[in-house]
Structure 1
Amino acid sequence: MEDLITDAVRARLSLARADARELDLYSGAGTDFYQRLVGADRAEVREVLALARRTGGPILDIAAGSGRLTIPLVRSGYRVTAVDLSRDMLSHLQRALPDHPALDCVVADMRDFRLAQRYALAVLGATSITLLDGEGRSRLCRSVRRHLTSDGVFALTVAAGTSATTLSVPQEHEITVPGPEGDETYLFAQQVDDDGASRVVNWLRPADLRRGGEVTVLTSRLRVLDREQLVTELVAAGFAPPRISPVRTQDGQDIELLETTTVAPLRAAESDV
């Protein structure tokens, strides 16, 4: 298992003589924290609903997670296929929309999935493109192209401006996260690796730092990407230069929405859906 404990968190653990219990943010109990962390975030929802009104359905929500985009799409009358690698993440979505006839949940890797239909709109929200390295992004683009209708739209988001800048520097600060018994304080730590190409992020509760104890540290590794790099990769993968527009957010984050369509025909070996 890859060691994803940041130096800052390791120092805190050492000072408290505590051991880390590393837990992936997108599996098991990590998904409960993730839901509390982002569940109230409405960023991208307005923009994605506007796209859906323009394209119609069916809609493919890639890396759908607990359904932050899927749920409002389904409740607005669209048929949605939600794809995520984490069965635990999708279980949150299924509990929110139990047995809904317009929802299909599929456990699959967003780099390589094969579904039985094509979609008018494929969405990759929450800047989830940063979960993938260069090869993974290339494979994702091939999978998306296989599943779009001839005039289908692929939409994805990426951090921009000052928000992008903060992703490329080390950070360590406390955040407040809703908990089952009220707000809880977590330490957020970010470490930049690979000469600035990726970042490791950690979350832990300072209250759990007990001398000699074991502390749960939630972890993830993300790539540091900018709009220009993604535009270049999309065009190289057979998509049109994307239309770029800002996403309105509640907390002042700079996020951009990239919308594109396919221009290069798929080879026969790539097109079987």
Structure 2
Amino acid sequence: MPGLITEAMQARLDLVGARPREQDLYEGEGTDFYERLVGPDRAEIREMLALARDAAGPVLDLAAGSGRVTIPLVRSGKRVTAIDLSDDMLAHLRRALPERSAVECIVADMRHFSLEARYELVIIGATSITLLDHEGRSLLYANVRRHLAPGGVFAFTVATGASAQSLAVPTEREIRVPGRGQDDIYLFSQQVEADGAARVVNWVRASDVTPGGEVTILTSRLQLLSHEVLARELVEAGFHEPAVSPVRTHLGAEILLLKTSWAGAWGMADGDVSD
């Protein structure tokens, strides 16, 4: 599999002699497609708003992206620090924010950022924790710990049930993506890596696949994770056993919310940020 092009997608391009050009889903033109694909999704927003109502001070939204969760938080009256590795994704968020919004957008890696603040609520929406491998998640947990206020809550979501099962099998299908003027048909391809630990996903606009042409393929690689694995990792990292609850969705997707807090003693010895 060259780069992040699936074998099935490459075979489809080979049939017409087209050449792939990889484009990260979370950079450049990929972000426009991403916003069209997931922007209307309201899953988990109700649950995140409920958590925010119980938290004093600002919310730390990791992998905030184009603001699918950030913007409802802001509209509910919360101050938000939104972190994302992609400035292109945050550009969508900035454009969508209400005027004079209490939002700080920071381009940073959720594994390595350092802020002079602690938060009573740290969240990761859209099952974005699956972007990180095991080492990356270990770094994330340590970084969240450094930025949690005493008694603070760390919450994120992950797929479960039939939704999780569908992520673990090779898939080829057409999807209809909303557009400004009309919907577009995209070809979707999913390939599971040999060890079963991750999946590679591709999207390409069907009308772009032309004989002999160069075709932009939007790509991403995500880990296949269960809530049991993540719960075990959290405990090993020093957090409490997370409370696990279902997320209400409108499209039938099965998603779980994991909510936890730090189980150890509070102090500066482990590299906490300053008060």
Q: TM-score, normalised by structure 2?
A: 0.96
Hey, what's the Cα distance between the residues in 2 that align with 1:170 and 1:206? 19
SS in 2 for 1:112: coil
Q: Is the 8 A contact 1:4 1:200 kept in 2?
A: yes
Q: Quote the residue 2:119 is aligned against.
A: 119
* Local SS of the residue matching 1:210: coil
The Cα shift of 1:98 comes to 6.0
Contact 2:117 2:273 in 1 (8 A): no
CA distance in 2, matches of 1:103, 1:208: 37
> Structure 1 regions of 5+ residues with no counterpart?
none
Alpha-carbon distance in 2 for matches of 1:137, 1:267: 22
Q: How far off its partner does 1:62 sit? A: 0.2
Q: Which runs of 5+ in 2 are unaligned?
A: none
* Structure 1 counterpart SS, 2:113: coil
Secondary structure at the aligned position of 1:196 is classed as coil
| Preserved contact between residue 62 and residue 123 of structure 1 (Cα < 8 Å) | yes
- Deviation track 1:219-273 (CA, whole Å, cap 9, x = no partner) reads 0000000011000000011110000000011110000000000012366242134
Paired residue type of 1:226: S
- Residue 254 of structure 1: aligned partner: 254
* Corresponding residue for residue 104 of structure 2: 104
- 1:74–1:80: 8 Å Cα contact kept in structure 2? yes
Q: Conserved in 1, the CA contact under 8 Å of 2:16 and 2:212? A: yes
Note if contact 1:59-1:78 (Cα within 8 Å) is conserved in structure 2. Answer: yes
SS across alignment from 1:270 = coil
Taking the aligned partners of 2:115 and 2:98, their CA distance within structure 1 comes to: 22
**1:243 & 1:102 partners in 2: Cα distance?**
30
Partners of 1:234 and 1:88 lie apart in 2 by: 30
Matched residue, 1:34: 34
Distance 2:52 2:131 in 1: 24
Alignment of 1:177-256 (within 5 A): 177-256=177-256
Structure 1 residues 210 and 249, CA gap change in structure 2 (3 angstroms): same
**How far did residue 57 of structure 1 move?**
2.8
1:271 aligns with 2:265: no
Counterparts of residues 9-48 of structure 1 (less than 5 Å): 9-48=9-48
Distance 2:247 2:171 in 1: 24
**How far apart in 2 are the matches of 1:115 and 1:207?**
45
Superposed CA RMSD in Å reads 1.2
Answer whether contact 1:44 1:247 (CA < 8 A) is retained.
yes
| TM-fit CA distance, 1:106 | 0.4
Give matches, 1:28-107, under 5 Å.
28-97=28-97, 100-107=100-107
User: What amino acid sits opposite 2:86 in the alignment?
Assistant: S
> Any runs of at least 4 consecutive aligned residues in structure 1 with deviations exceeding 6 A, and if so which?
none
SS at the partner of 1:182? coil
Give the letter for the 2:17 counterpart.
R
Residues 194 and 136 (structure 1), Cα distance of their counterparts in 2 relative to 1, 3 Å cut = farther
Equivalent position SS for 2:163:
helix
CA deviation vs aligned residue, 1:163-208 (integer Å, no higher than 9, x gap): 0101111001111101232100001110000411000000001211
Letter in 2 for 1:114: S
Is contact 2:147-2:273 (8 Å) kept?
Answer: no
The C-alpha deviation readout for 1:17-42, integer Å capped at 9, x for no partner, is 00001100000000000000000000
Counterpart secondary structure, 1:195: coil
State the partner residue of 1:172: 172
Aligned to 1:131: 131
TM superposition shift of 1:101: 4.3
- How far apart in 1 are the matches of 2:117 and 2:227? 30
Instruction: Check conservation: 1:142, 1:270, Cα contact below 8 A.
Output: no
